[in-house]
Amino acid sequence: MPNQLISPEFPFQSRYIKVKGSTMHYIDEGEGDPILFLHGNPTSSYLWRNIIPHVTDKGRAIAPDLIGMCKSDKPQLAYRFQDHYDYLKGFIEALNLTNISLVIHEWGSGLGFHYAKEHPEKVKAIAFMEAMIKPLNWSDFPTEFKLMFKAMRTPGLGWLMISVGNLFVKQILPQSIVRPLTPQEKLVYGKPYQTIASRKPVRQWPLEIPINGMPSDMVEIIGNYNRWLQETEIPKLLFYAQPGGLIRAEMVSWLEANLPNLKTVDIGPGLHFIQEDNPEKIGQELAAWIEVNEPATPASSPAR
């Protein structure tokens, strides 16, 4: 894909809102029913910059930075999944969002799937990519990833790798994209995590992955929304890449066989942060899908 279609610019107005006593940063573009973009680790609303312009004539595109990440406040939290979920739920309530189309990635998918299961009356459609679909076992990991994630989950060693060495920002992020990131893009992704203290959320996220039954609360949360996804008729859109990271060919086949009302889109070459490899395809297909799932009379947007 020509790189000129992948801009490093972030041409959106920053907005801020108080949630649970802390300030969360977000962008809010367009009018109509909300299209809520949720990022994962160690990214931010910046991940969606080249996709959002495709949908601003289809609805109100909203992309927050999760609490503790990028331009959102960094309160003293454990930064477990439930902490992030409480702030996300508060963010949605503060903006009075309903008729939501979720567009979710990685840990943003875990948060979004869980929210949709808990509040199905507020969610009308779910688009997802490189998502947290089910609890894992160590046998699900290729050898090289198994060794790395075991090290990251080891007390002391994981802290040195992520909190001191900044492994996620310096290595995992750029190595999980097919194309090379530009210096400007690397700068934007790295700026929020200049200190050991600022990397606390980045450090915690790998510990939240449910592997071989631990942590047990995450096994329960992901297992519950996995079962719900297999039952609900809510429209779903899966973007997947070749070879992909979390969602590879075997998982695509499982999803196609088990999730009702699912459309799938192959975006071509990509690893984990597929928004950085083919945002044009994702944006175009997302816009078309949202249009198909729109009611005949668009709902009015709540006041900002």
CATH number (domain holding residue 77) = 3.40.50.1820
For residue 206, the tally of other CB atoms under 10 A from its CB is 21
What are the pLDDT digits (tens) for 283-295? 999 999 999 987 6
DSSP H or E segment with residue 265:
strand 262-270
What was the pLDDT predicted at 163? Answer: 97
156 is a domain residue: no
pLDDT on residue 304: 57
In a domain? residue 297:
no
Question: Whole domain around residue 259: which residue ranges?
Answer: 3-136+219-292
How many domains in the chain?
A: 1
Q: Is 201 inside any structural domain?
A: no
Query: pLDDT tens, 209-261?
Result: 999 999 999 999 999 999 999 999 999 999 999 999 999 999 999 999 999 99
Return the ∠ at Cα 100 (arms to 96 and 267), rounded to 5°: 145
The DSSP secondary-structure symbol of 214 reads B
Residue 1 pLDDT exceeds 50? no
Instruction: Specify the pLDDT at position 270.
Output: 96
**Residue 183 domain-assigned (yes or no):** no
Q: What does the alpha-carbon distance between residue 171 and residue 100 come to, in Å, rounded to a whole number? A: 34
183 pLDDT above the threshold of 90:
yes
What does pTM read for this prediction?
0.95
Mean pLDDT of all residues belonging to the chain: 94
The structure tokens 């977000």 sit at 26
Q: Is residue 68 part of a domain?
A: yes
For residue 224, the model assigns a pLDDT of 98
pLDDT digit string, tens, across residues 105-152: 999 999 999 999 999 999 999 999 999 999 999 988 877 778 888 999
Q: What is the pLDDT of residues 263-283, one digit of tens each?
A: 999 999 999 999 999 999 999
The C-alpha atoms of residue 26 and residue 37 are separated, in whole angstroms, by 10
8-state DSSP, 161 = I
Nearest to 107 by CA among 148, 146, 65: 65
**117: in domain:** yes
In a domain, 211, yes or no: no
Q: How confident is the model at residue 145, as a pLDDT?
A: 78
Instruction: Read off the pLDDT of each residue in 164-182 and give the average, rounded to a whole number.
Output: 96
Flag whether 87 is in a domain: yes
SS3 37: strand
